[in-house]
Structure 1
Protein backbone atom coordinates (compact mmCIF):
# COMPACT_ATOMS: atom_id res chain seq x y z
CA UNK A 1 0.00 0.00 0.00
CA UNK A 2 1.40 3.40 -1.04
CA UNK A 3 0.86 6.28 1.42
CA UNK A 4 1.71 9.95 1.12
CA UNK A 5 2.51 10.58 4.77
CA UNK A 6 2.54 14.37 4.64
CA UNK A 7 0.28 16.76 2.76
CA UNK A 8 -2.09 19.63 3.49
CA UNK A 9 -5.53 20.95 2.62
CA UNK A 10 -6.78 24.47 3.07
CA UNK A 11 -9.33 27.05 2.06
CA UNK A 12 -7.01 29.99 1.58
CA UNK A 13 -7.45 32.95 3.90
CA UNK A 14 -4.88 35.80 3.92
CA UNK A 15 -4.82 36.18 7.71
CA UNK A 16 -5.00 32.52 8.69
CA UNK A 17 -2.39 31.58 6.10
CA UNK A 18 -0.11 34.59 6.44
CA UNK A 19 2.93 32.29 6.30
CA UNK A 20 2.26 31.97 2.55
CA UNK A 21 4.27 35.05 1.67
CA UNK A 22 4.76 36.82 -1.65
CA UNK A 23 7.43 34.34 -2.75
CA UNK A 24 4.82 31.57 -2.43
CA UNK A 25 1.92 33.45 -4.04
CA UNK A 26 1.33 30.59 -6.49
CA UNK A 27 -0.27 28.61 -3.66
CA UNK A 28 -2.51 31.42 -2.42
CA UNK A 29 -5.66 29.54 -3.32
CA UNK A 30 -7.78 26.65 -2.10
CA UNK A 31 -6.35 23.12 -2.10
CA UNK A 32 -8.92 20.44 -1.40
CA UNK A 33 -9.34 16.67 -1.85
CA UNK A 34 -10.78 17.10 -5.33
CA UNK A 35 -7.46 18.67 -6.36
CA UNK A 36 -5.27 15.95 -4.86
CA UNK A 37 -7.16 12.74 -5.66
CA UNK A 38 -6.44 12.75 -9.44
CA UNK A 39 -2.73 13.23 -8.71
CA UNK A 40 -2.67 10.32 -6.26
CA UNK A 41 -4.48 8.12 -8.76
CA UNK A 42 -2.02 9.06 -11.48
CA UNK A 43 1.00 8.23 -9.33
CA UNK A 44 -0.47 5.03 -7.91
CA UNK A 45 -0.74 6.24 -4.32
CA UNK A 46 -3.53 4.66 -2.29
CA UNK A 47 -4.01 7.20 0.48
CA UNK A 48 -2.58 10.10 2.44
CA UNK A 49 -2.03 11.65 5.84
CA UNK A 50 -3.53 15.15 6.12
CA UNK A 51 -1.38 17.38 8.35
CA UNK A 52 -2.37 20.65 9.97
CA UNK A 53 -1.21 23.91 8.41
CA UNK A 54 -2.97 26.25 10.86
CA UNK A 55 -2.90 26.35 14.66
CA UNK A 56 -6.53 26.06 15.67
CA UNK A 57 -9.09 23.46 16.66
CA UNK A 58 -11.06 24.70 13.67
CA UNK A 59 -8.24 23.30 11.51
CA UNK A 60 -8.40 19.93 13.26
CA UNK A 61 -12.16 19.78 12.72
CA UNK A 62 -11.79 20.82 9.07
CA UNK A 63 -9.35 17.98 8.36
CA UNK A 64 -11.46 15.43 10.22
CA UNK A 65 -14.50 16.44 8.19
CA UNK A 66 -12.52 15.96 4.96
CA UNK A 67 -11.31 12.57 6.17
CA UNK A 68 -14.85 11.53 6.95
CA UNK A 69 -15.95 12.48 3.43
CA UNK A 70 -12.96 10.87 1.67
CA UNK A 71 -11.98 7.37 2.74
CA UNK A 72 -8.56 7.64 1.03
CA UNK A 73 -7.54 10.28 3.60
CA UNK A 74 -6.24 7.60 5.92
CA UNK A 75 -5.11 9.71 8.87
CA UNK A 76 -5.21 13.22 10.29
CA UNK A 77 -2.47 15.02 12.21
CA UNK A 78 -4.30 17.88 13.82
CA UNK A 79 -3.52 20.74 16.19
CA UNK A 80 -4.24 21.04 19.85
CA UNK A 81 -2.83 23.31 22.56
CA UNK A 82 -0.41 20.82 24.09
CA UNK A 83 0.26 23.02 27.11
CA UNK A 84 -3.38 23.76 27.94
CA UNK A 85 -4.77 22.77 31.35
CA UNK A 86 -7.88 21.64 29.44
CA UNK A 87 -5.95 19.25 27.20
CA UNK A 88 -7.43 16.09 28.70
CA UNK A 89 -10.98 17.37 28.16
CA UNK A 90 -10.15 18.27 24.56
CA UNK A 91 -8.64 14.85 23.90
CA UNK A 92 -11.74 13.20 25.35
CA UNK A 93 -13.81 15.16 22.83
CA UNK A 94 -11.73 13.79 19.95
CA UNK A 95 -11.52 10.27 21.30
CA UNK A 96 -14.15 8.85 18.93
CA UNK A 97 -12.48 10.16 15.75
CA UNK A 98 -10.63 7.06 14.61
CA UNK A 99 -8.72 8.86 11.87
CA UNK A 100 -7.18 11.38 14.27
CA UNK A 101 -3.77 9.81 14.78
CA UNK A 102 -1.70 12.62 16.26
CA UNK A 103 -0.90 16.30 16.54
CA UNK A 104 1.59 18.91 15.40
CA UNK A 105 2.51 22.49 16.20
CA UNK A 106 4.57 24.98 14.17
CA UNK A 107 7.59 24.63 16.46
CA UNK A 108 9.93 25.98 13.77
CA UNK A 109 8.44 29.44 14.38
CA UNK A 110 9.09 29.32 18.13
CA UNK A 111 12.11 29.58 20.39
CA UNK A 112 13.71 26.14 20.89
CA UNK A 113 13.11 26.35 24.65
CA UNK A 114 9.35 26.58 24.04
CA UNK A 115 9.11 22.81 23.65
CA UNK A 116 10.94 22.20 26.93
CA UNK A 117 8.34 23.87 29.14
CA UNK A 118 6.98 21.56 31.83
CA UNK A 119 3.39 21.96 30.64
CA UNK A 120 4.39 21.09 27.07
CA UNK A 121 6.20 17.94 28.14
CA UNK A 122 3.33 16.86 30.36
CA UNK A 123 0.93 17.47 27.49
CA UNK A 124 3.03 15.30 25.19
CA UNK A 125 3.03 12.53 27.74
CA UNK A 126 -0.75 12.78 27.98
CA UNK A 127 -1.34 12.50 24.22
CA UNK A 128 1.08 9.59 24.02
CA UNK A 129 -0.70 7.84 26.88
CA UNK A 130 -3.78 7.89 24.66
CA UNK A 131 -1.94 6.23 21.78
CA UNK A 132 -1.47 9.40 19.74
CA UNK A 133 1.65 10.49 17.87
CA UNK A 134 3.47 13.80 17.53
CA UNK A 135 4.99 15.38 14.41
CA UNK A 136 8.03 17.56 15.12
CA UNK A 137 8.31 20.51 12.72
CA UNK A 138 11.62 22.28 13.33
CA UNK A 139 14.74 23.74 11.75
CA UNK A 140 18.24 22.31 12.36
CA UNK A 141 18.89 24.90 15.08
CA UNK A 142 16.07 23.34 17.13
CA UNK A 143 17.49 19.82 17.11
CA UNK A 144 19.47 20.06 20.36
CA UNK A 145 16.25 21.06 22.12
CA UNK A 146 14.40 18.24 20.34
CA UNK A 147 16.94 15.80 21.77
CA UNK A 148 16.30 17.14 25.28
CA UNK A 149 12.57 16.84 24.66
CA UNK A 150 12.57 13.23 23.50
CA UNK A 151 14.85 12.22 26.37
CA UNK A 152 12.11 13.43 28.70
CA UNK A 153 9.54 11.38 26.76
CA UNK A 154 11.46 8.14 26.28
CA UNK A 155 9.68 5.60 24.14
CA UNK A 156 6.95 7.87 22.84
CA UNK A 157 6.15 8.03 19.11
CA UNK A 158 7.70 11.03 17.34
CA UNK A 159 8.34 11.76 13.68
CA UNK A 160 10.60 14.55 12.43
CA UNK A 161 8.96 16.34 9.53
CA UNK A 162 11.01 17.23 6.44
CA UNK A 163 14.22 15.80 8.00
CA UNK A 164 14.25 18.99 10.13
CA UNK A 165 14.67 21.13 6.99
CA UNK A 166 18.42 20.83 6.36
CA UNK A 167 20.16 23.68 4.54
CA UNK A 168 20.13 22.00 1.14
CA UNK A 169 20.42 25.26 -0.79
CA UNK A 170 23.73 25.95 0.97
CA UNK A 171 24.94 22.37 0.63
CA UNK A 172 25.48 22.06 4.40
CA UNK A 173 25.00 18.58 5.84
CA UNK A 174 27.78 17.82 8.32
CA UNK A 175 26.40 19.70 11.33
CA UNK A 176 22.85 18.61 10.45
CA UNK A 177 23.91 14.97 10.36
CA UNK A 178 25.77 15.37 13.66
CA UNK A 179 22.66 16.70 15.42
CA UNK A 180 20.29 14.19 13.79
CA UNK A 181 22.40 11.17 14.73
CA UNK A 182 21.55 10.99 18.47
CA UNK A 183 17.87 11.31 17.61
CA UNK A 184 18.07 8.50 15.07
CA UNK A 185 19.75 6.28 17.67
CA UNK A 186 16.40 6.15 19.49
CA UNK A 187 14.18 3.57 17.85
CA UNK A 188 10.99 5.47 18.70
CA UNK A 189 12.02 8.44 16.52
CA UNK A 190 10.95 8.36 12.85
CA UNK A 191 11.55 10.81 10.00
CA UNK A 192 9.78 11.97 6.86
CA UNK A 193 11.40 12.23 3.46
CA UNK A 194 9.28 15.28 2.70
CA UNK A 195 9.56 19.01 2.10
CA UNK A 196 13.08 18.75 0.73
CA UNK A 197 12.77 20.44 -2.65
CA UNK A 198 11.59 23.62 -0.91
CA UNK A 199 14.83 23.64 1.11
CA UNK A 200 16.84 23.56 -2.13
CA UNK A 201 17.14 26.32 -4.73
CA UNK A 202 13.57 26.79 -5.92
CA UNK A 203 14.53 27.77 -9.45
CA UNK A 204 17.29 25.28 -10.24
CA UNK A 205 17.29 22.39 -7.80
CA UNK A 206 18.47 19.02 -9.03
CA UNK A 207 18.06 15.61 -7.49
CA UNK A 208 21.85 15.36 -7.11
CA UNK A 209 21.66 18.17 -4.55
CA UNK A 210 19.08 16.32 -2.48
CA UNK A 211 20.40 12.75 -2.73
CA UNK A 212 23.11 13.22 -0.04
CA UNK A 213 20.43 14.11 2.52
CA UNK A 214 18.30 11.12 1.53
CA UNK A 215 21.33 8.85 1.80
CA UNK A 216 22.22 10.20 5.24
CA UNK A 217 18.63 9.74 6.41
CA UNK A 218 18.67 6.15 5.20
CA UNK A 219 22.00 5.55 6.93
CA UNK A 220 20.75 7.01 10.23
CA UNK A 221 17.15 5.79 10.40
CA UNK A 222 16.95 2.82 8.04
CA UNK A 223 13.89 2.12 5.86
CA UNK A 224 11.74 0.94 8.77
CA UNK A 225 11.66 4.45 10.25
CA UNK A 226 11.48 6.57 7.11
CA UNK A 227 8.31 7.55 5.25
CA UNK A 228 7.60 9.36 2.02
CA UNK A 229 5.66 12.61 2.10
CA UNK A 230 4.96 15.05 -0.72
CA UNK A 231 4.32 18.21 1.32
CA UNK A 232 1.71 19.05 -1.31
CA UNK A 233 0.67 21.74 -2.06
CA UNK A 234 3.67 23.56 -0.55
CA UNK A 235 5.93 21.62 -2.93
CA UNK A 236 4.21 23.33 -5.87
CA UNK A 237 6.17 26.54 -5.30
CA UNK A 238 9.20 24.81 -6.78
CA UNK A 239 8.04 21.65 -8.53
CA UNK A 240 5.22 19.32 -9.41
CA UNK A 241 3.89 16.52 -7.19
CA UNK A 242 5.22 14.04 -9.73
CA UNK A 243 8.74 15.47 -9.34
CA UNK A 244 8.68 14.84 -5.59
CA UNK A 245 7.31 11.34 -6.07
CA UNK A 246 9.87 10.51 -8.75
CA UNK A 247 12.70 11.75 -6.53
CA UNK A 248 11.81 9.31 -3.74
CA UNK A 249 10.72 6.51 -6.07
CA UNK A 250 14.08 6.68 -7.90
CA UNK A 251 16.01 6.89 -4.64
CA UNK A 252 14.37 3.73 -3.31
CA UNK A 253 14.82 1.84 -6.60
CA UNK A 254 18.19 0.45 -5.46
CA UNK A 255 16.71 -0.97 -2.26
CA UNK A 256 15.05 -4.33 -1.81
CA UNK A 257 11.32 -4.49 -2.56
CA UNK A 258 10.58 -4.80 1.17
CA UNK A 259 12.71 -1.74 2.02
CA UNK A 260 11.09 0.28 -0.76
CA UNK A 261 7.64 -0.74 0.45
CA UNK A 262 8.54 0.41 3.96
CA UNK A 263 9.47 3.92 2.87
CA UNK A 264 6.61 4.30 0.40
CA UNK A 265 3.86 3.20 2.73
CA UNK A 266 4.41 0.54 5.37
CA UNK A 267 6.34 2.76 7.78
CA UNK A 268 3.58 5.38 7.72
CA UNK A 269 0.95 2.69 8.26
CA UNK A 270 2.81 1.38 11.29
CA UNK A 271 3.53 4.79 12.81
CA UNK A 272 0.04 6.20 12.33
CA UNK A 273 -1.70 2.86 12.95
CA UNK A 274 -3.43 2.88 9.58
CA UNK A 275 -5.33 -0.38 9.08
CA UNK A 276 -4.53 -2.51 6.04
CA UNK A 277 -7.25 -2.16 3.43
Structure 2
Protein backbone atom coordinates (compact mmCIF):
# COMPACT_ATOMS: atom_id res chain seq x y z
CA UNK A 1 0.00 0.00 0.00
CA UNK A 2 1.33 3.49 -0.79
CA UNK A 3 2.05 5.51 2.34
CA UNK A 4 1.93 9.31 2.12
CA UNK A 5 2.45 11.84 4.87
CA UNK A 6 -0.04 14.50 3.77
CA UNK A 7 1.13 17.19 6.18
CA UNK A 8 4.61 18.23 7.26
CA UNK A 9 6.76 21.36 7.31
CA UNK A 10 10.27 22.58 6.55
CA UNK A 11 11.87 25.77 7.76
CA UNK A 12 15.14 27.57 8.27
CA UNK A 13 14.48 28.94 11.73
CA UNK A 14 14.19 32.70 12.02
CA UNK A 15 13.09 34.23 15.36
CA UNK A 16 11.00 36.92 13.65
CA UNK A 17 9.41 34.83 10.90
CA UNK A 18 8.87 31.90 13.26
CA UNK A 19 7.86 33.86 16.35
CA UNK A 20 5.10 31.32 17.06
CA UNK A 21 7.86 28.92 18.17
CA UNK A 22 8.29 30.04 21.76
CA UNK A 23 10.65 29.02 24.57
CA UNK A 24 8.41 26.07 25.50
CA UNK A 25 9.19 24.62 22.06
CA UNK A 26 12.98 24.41 22.15
CA UNK A 27 12.98 21.01 20.43
CA UNK A 28 11.68 22.62 17.21
CA UNK A 29 13.53 25.93 17.55
CA UNK A 30 16.02 25.05 14.81
CA UNK A 31 16.22 24.31 11.10
CA UNK A 32 14.24 21.38 9.66
CA UNK A 33 15.07 20.35 6.12
CA UNK A 34 14.55 17.32 3.84
CA UNK A 35 17.74 15.63 5.06
CA UNK A 36 16.21 15.59 8.56
CA UNK A 37 12.92 14.09 7.40
CA UNK A 38 14.01 11.46 4.88
CA UNK A 39 15.44 8.98 7.43
CA UNK A 40 12.30 9.40 9.55
CA UNK A 41 10.08 8.57 6.58
CA UNK A 42 12.18 5.50 5.80
CA UNK A 43 12.08 4.29 9.42
CA UNK A 44 8.27 4.50 9.35
CA UNK A 45 7.76 3.03 5.88
CA UNK A 46 6.44 6.26 4.38
CA UNK A 47 6.95 6.71 0.63
CA UNK A 48 6.54 10.46 0.27
CA UNK A 49 5.11 13.62 1.74
CA UNK A 50 3.26 16.87 1.14
CA UNK A 51 5.15 19.95 2.37
CA UNK A 52 2.83 22.62 3.78
CA UNK A 53 3.56 26.31 4.26
CA UNK A 54 4.42 27.54 7.75
CA UNK A 55 4.83 31.27 7.05
CA UNK A 56 2.75 33.66 4.99
CA UNK A 57 5.03 34.89 2.24
CA UNK A 58 5.47 33.97 -1.38
CA UNK A 59 9.13 33.38 -0.52
CA UNK A 60 7.89 30.43 1.53
CA UNK A 61 6.22 28.95 -1.52
CA UNK A 62 9.40 29.44 -3.56
CA UNK A 63 11.44 27.84 -0.76
CA UNK A 64 9.23 24.73 -0.62
CA UNK A 65 9.16 24.36 -4.40
CA UNK A 66 12.97 24.52 -4.50
CA UNK A 67 13.19 21.77 -1.87
CA UNK A 68 10.73 19.64 -3.84
CA UNK A 69 12.79 20.10 -7.01
CA UNK A 70 15.81 18.66 -5.20
CA UNK A 71 14.03 15.87 -3.28
CA UNK A 72 11.67 13.58 -5.15
CA UNK A 73 10.11 12.20 -1.96
CA UNK A 74 8.36 15.59 -1.62
CA UNK A 75 5.40 14.70 -3.81
CA UNK A 76 3.43 17.92 -3.40
CA UNK A 77 3.58 21.44 -1.99
CA UNK A 78 0.84 23.48 -0.32
CA UNK A 79 2.09 27.03 -0.53
CA UNK A 80 0.91 30.51 0.37
CA UNK A 81 -0.32 33.26 -1.89
CA UNK A 82 -2.22 36.44 -1.08
CA UNK A 83 -5.75 35.40 -1.97
CA UNK A 84 -6.82 39.05 -1.87
CA UNK A 85 -4.16 40.27 -4.32
CA UNK A 86 -5.37 42.17 -7.37
CA UNK A 87 -2.99 40.17 -9.55
CA UNK A 88 -3.88 36.77 -8.07
CA UNK A 89 -5.01 35.36 -11.42
CA UNK A 90 -1.66 36.24 -12.94
CA UNK A 91 0.23 34.66 -10.04
CA UNK A 92 -1.77 31.43 -10.24
CA UNK A 93 -1.21 31.25 -13.96
CA UNK A 94 2.55 31.55 -13.39
CA UNK A 95 2.44 28.86 -10.71
CA UNK A 96 0.80 26.42 -13.14
CA UNK A 97 4.24 25.87 -14.63
CA UNK A 98 5.24 23.98 -11.48
CA UNK A 99 3.25 20.77 -11.26
CA UNK A 100 4.40 19.92 -7.74
CA UNK A 101 2.45 22.91 -6.38
CA UNK A 102 -0.92 21.41 -5.50
CA UNK A 103 -2.70 23.98 -3.38
CA UNK A 104 -2.56 26.83 -0.92
CA UNK A 105 -3.17 27.61 2.73
CA UNK A 106 -3.76 30.73 4.80
CA UNK A 107 -3.33 30.71 8.59
CA UNK A 108 -6.96 31.54 9.29
CA UNK A 109 -6.67 30.51 12.94
CA UNK A 110 -4.56 33.62 13.62
CA UNK A 111 -6.80 36.16 11.91
CA UNK A 112 -8.46 38.61 14.37
CA UNK A 113 -11.68 38.40 12.37
CA UNK A 114 -13.11 34.92 12.84
CA UNK A 115 -15.14 35.41 9.66
CA UNK A 116 -12.06 36.31 7.61
CA UNK A 117 -12.73 33.43 5.22
CA UNK A 118 -16.13 34.90 4.38
CA UNK A 119 -14.83 38.32 3.35
CA UNK A 120 -15.68 39.05 -0.31
CA UNK A 121 -12.02 39.54 -1.26
CA UNK A 122 -11.05 36.21 0.30
CA UNK A 123 -13.90 34.38 -1.42
CA UNK A 124 -12.84 35.93 -4.71
CA UNK A 125 -9.46 34.28 -4.10
CA UNK A 126 -11.08 30.91 -3.41
CA UNK A 127 -12.99 31.23 -6.69
CA UNK A 128 -9.66 31.77 -8.47
CA UNK A 129 -8.17 28.66 -6.84
CA UNK A 130 -11.16 26.67 -8.03
CA UNK A 131 -10.77 28.01 -11.56
CA UNK A 132 -7.13 26.95 -11.68
CA UNK A 133 -7.65 23.55 -10.04
CA UNK A 134 -5.84 24.19 -6.74
CA UNK A 135 -6.81 22.68 -3.40
CA UNK A 136 -7.24 24.73 -0.22
CA UNK A 137 -6.13 23.68 3.28
CA UNK A 138 -8.36 25.02 6.06
CA UNK A 139 -6.38 25.78 9.25
CA UNK A 140 -8.85 26.74 11.97
CA UNK A 141 -10.00 26.27 15.56
CA UNK A 142 -13.36 24.72 16.51
CA UNK A 143 -15.04 28.14 16.78
CA UNK A 144 -14.38 28.71 13.07
CA UNK A 145 -16.17 25.55 11.94
CA UNK A 146 -19.56 27.17 11.15
CA UNK A 147 -17.84 29.72 8.88
CA UNK A 148 -15.86 26.96 7.17
CA UNK A 149 -19.13 25.13 6.50
CA UNK A 150 -20.60 28.28 4.96
CA UNK A 151 -17.52 28.67 2.75
CA UNK A 152 -17.66 25.04 1.64
CA UNK A 153 -21.34 25.43 0.80
CA UNK A 154 -20.68 28.49 -1.33
CA UNK A 155 -17.94 26.71 -3.31
CA UNK A 156 -19.22 23.15 -3.87
CA UNK A 157 -16.70 22.50 -6.66
CA UNK A 158 -13.65 23.62 -4.66
CA UNK A 159 -11.67 20.87 -2.95
CA UNK A 160 -11.04 21.71 0.72
CA UNK A 161 -9.20 19.79 3.41
CA UNK A 162 -9.36 20.57 7.14
CA UNK A 163 -5.97 20.47 8.84
CA UNK A 164 -5.47 18.88 12.27
CA UNK A 165 -9.15 17.95 12.80
CA UNK A 166 -9.81 21.70 13.30
CA UNK A 167 -7.74 21.51 16.49
CA UNK A 168 -10.15 20.18 19.13
CA UNK A 169 -9.18 20.74 22.77
CA UNK A 170 -8.13 17.16 23.49
CA UNK A 171 -6.16 18.18 26.57
CA UNK A 172 -9.34 19.23 28.39
CA UNK A 173 -11.49 16.59 26.68
CA UNK A 174 -13.77 19.19 25.11
CA UNK A 175 -15.67 17.47 22.34
CA UNK A 176 -19.38 18.44 22.19
CA UNK A 177 -19.31 21.72 20.25
CA UNK A 178 -16.38 20.60 18.09
CA UNK A 179 -18.27 17.42 17.20
CA UNK A 180 -21.34 19.40 16.10
CA UNK A 181 -19.20 21.68 13.97
CA UNK A 182 -17.28 18.81 12.36
CA UNK A 183 -20.45 16.88 11.56
CA UNK A 184 -22.00 19.96 9.92
CA UNK A 185 -18.87 20.66 7.88
CA UNK A 186 -18.51 17.03 6.80
CA UNK A 187 -21.96 17.19 5.20
CA UNK A 188 -20.24 18.96 2.32
CA UNK A 189 -18.73 16.28 0.09
CA UNK A 190 -16.03 18.66 -1.20
CA UNK A 191 -14.46 18.80 2.28
CA UNK A 192 -11.83 16.29 3.40
CA UNK A 193 -9.93 16.01 6.69
CA UNK A 194 -6.33 15.42 7.68
CA UNK A 195 -5.86 13.31 10.77
CA UNK A 196 -2.82 15.22 11.89
CA UNK A 197 -1.63 17.42 14.72
CA UNK A 198 -3.54 15.50 17.41
CA UNK A 199 -0.65 15.01 19.81
CA UNK A 200 -0.06 18.71 20.26
CA UNK A 201 -3.75 19.32 21.03
CA UNK A 202 -3.48 16.84 23.92
CA UNK A 203 -1.36 17.16 27.05
CA UNK A 204 2.13 17.16 25.55
CA UNK A 205 3.73 15.24 28.40
CA UNK A 206 1.04 12.90 29.73
CA UNK A 207 -1.40 12.01 26.95
CA UNK A 208 -2.63 8.43 26.62
CA UNK A 209 -3.49 6.66 23.37
CA UNK A 210 -7.13 6.33 24.42
CA UNK A 211 -7.41 10.13 24.71
CA UNK A 212 -7.64 10.32 20.93
CA UNK A 213 -10.21 7.58 20.30
CA UNK A 214 -13.40 9.67 20.77
CA UNK A 215 -12.10 12.32 18.36
CA UNK A 216 -11.04 9.75 15.78
CA UNK A 217 -14.46 8.10 16.03
CA UNK A 218 -16.11 11.43 15.23
CA UNK A 219 -13.87 12.09 12.21
CA UNK A 220 -14.12 8.60 10.73
CA UNK A 221 -17.91 8.56 11.16
CA UNK A 222 -18.42 12.09 9.84
CA UNK A 223 -16.16 12.05 6.80
CA UNK A 224 -16.12 8.35 5.97
CA UNK A 225 -13.12 6.39 4.74
CA UNK A 226 -12.81 8.19 1.39
CA UNK A 227 -12.28 11.72 2.73
CA UNK A 228 -9.63 11.30 5.43
CA UNK A 229 -5.84 11.14 5.18
CA UNK A 230 -2.82 10.69 7.41
CA UNK A 231 -0.52 13.58 8.27
CA UNK A 232 2.30 13.68 10.81
CA UNK A 233 2.61 17.44 11.35
CA UNK A 234 6.38 16.87 11.59
CA UNK A 235 8.39 18.51 13.05
CA UNK A 236 5.71 20.06 15.30
CA UNK A 237 4.81 16.54 16.49
CA UNK A 238 8.22 16.38 18.19
CA UNK A 239 6.75 18.57 20.93
CA UNK A 240 4.48 15.77 22.11
CA UNK A 241 5.84 12.34 21.27
CA UNK A 242 7.29 12.45 17.78
CA UNK A 243 6.76 10.78 14.42
CA UNK A 244 6.82 7.13 15.50
CA UNK A 245 4.21 7.63 18.21
CA UNK A 246 2.00 9.56 15.78
CA UNK A 247 2.12 6.61 13.37
CA UNK A 248 1.58 4.03 16.13
CA UNK A 249 -1.61 5.70 17.37
CA UNK A 250 -3.11 5.50 13.91
CA UNK A 251 -1.87 1.96 13.30
CA UNK A 252 -3.67 0.83 16.45
CA UNK A 253 -6.86 2.67 15.53
CA UNK A 254 -6.79 1.48 11.91
CA UNK A 255 -6.36 -2.17 12.89
CA UNK A 256 -10.17 -2.42 12.82
CA UNK A 257 -10.27 -1.39 9.14
CA UNK A 258 -10.08 -3.62 6.08
CA UNK A 259 -6.87 -3.67 4.03
CA UNK A 260 -8.54 -1.56 1.34
CA UNK A 261 -9.71 1.01 3.90
CA UNK A 262 -6.25 1.19 5.43
CA UNK A 263 -4.75 1.77 2.00
CA UNK A 264 -7.15 4.67 1.42
CA UNK A 265 -6.30 6.30 4.74
CA UNK A 266 -2.52 5.86 4.60
CA UNK A 267 -1.99 7.00 1.04
CA UNK A 268 -4.55 6.64 -1.70
CA UNK A 269 -6.83 9.43 -0.48
CA UNK A 270 -3.94 11.90 -0.28
CA UNK A 271 -2.75 10.86 -3.74
CA UNK A 272 -6.23 11.44 -5.16
CA UNK A 273 -6.91 14.71 -3.32
CA UNK A 274 -3.59 16.35 -4.18
CA UNK A 275 -3.21 14.61 -7.54
CA UNK A 276 0.26 13.40 -6.52
Q: Where on the TM-score scale, by shorter chain, does this alignment land: which range? A: over 0.9
Cα distance in structure 1, aligned partners of 2:253 and 2:81: 35
Cα distance in structure 2, aligned partners of 1:66 and 1:56: 16
Map of 1:45 onto structure 2 = 46
1:247 to 231, 246, 249: 249
Map of 1:186 onto structure 2 = 188
Query: Residue 220 of structure 1: SS of its match in structure 2?
Result: helix
Aligned counterparts, 1:95-244, within 5 A = 95-110=96-111, 111-244=113-246
Give 1:30 shift.
Answer: 0.4
Cα distance in structure 2, aligned partners of 1:2 and 1:80: 28
Query: Residue 80 of structure 1: SS of its match in structure 2?
Result: coil
TM-score, structure 2 length as denominator?
Answer: 0.98
Answer yes or no: is the 8 Å Cα contact 2:146–2:181 preserved in 1: yes
Q: Deviations over 1:11-37 (max 9, x none)?
A: 000000001111112211000000000
Map of 2:95 onto structure 1 = 94
Query: Which consecutive residues of structure 2, in runs of 5 or more, have no partner in the other structure?
Result: none
Residue 71, structure 1, aligned to residue 78, structure 2: no
Cα distance in structure 1, aligned partners of 2:86 and 2:26: 38
Answer yes or no: is the 8 Å Cα contact 2:153–2:188 preserved in 1: no
Cα distance in structure 1, aligned partners of 2:220 and 2:153: 22
Map of 2:17 onto structure 1 = 16
Matched residue pairs, number? 274
TM-score, structure 1 length as denominator?
Answer: 0.98
Cα distance in structure 1, aligned partners of 2:187 and 2:153: 12
Cα distance in structure 2, aligned partners of 1:120 and 1:4: 28
Q: Deviations over 1:208-263 (max 9, x none)?
A: 00111111100101111000000000010111210001111211111000111111
Cα distance in structure 2, aligned partners of 1:155 and 1:124: 11
Aligned residues: CA RMSD: 0.7
2:264 to 262, 265, 276: 262
Cα distance in structure 1, aligned partners of 2:150 and 2:138: 13
4+ residue runs over 2 A deviation? none
Answer yes or no: is the 8 Å Cα contact 2:159–2:190 preserved in 1: yes
Give 1:155 shift.
Answer: 2.4
Give 1:174 shift.
Answer: 1.4
Residue 80, structure 1, aligned to residue 90, structure 2: no
Cα distance in structure 2, aligned partners of 1:241 and 1:31: 14
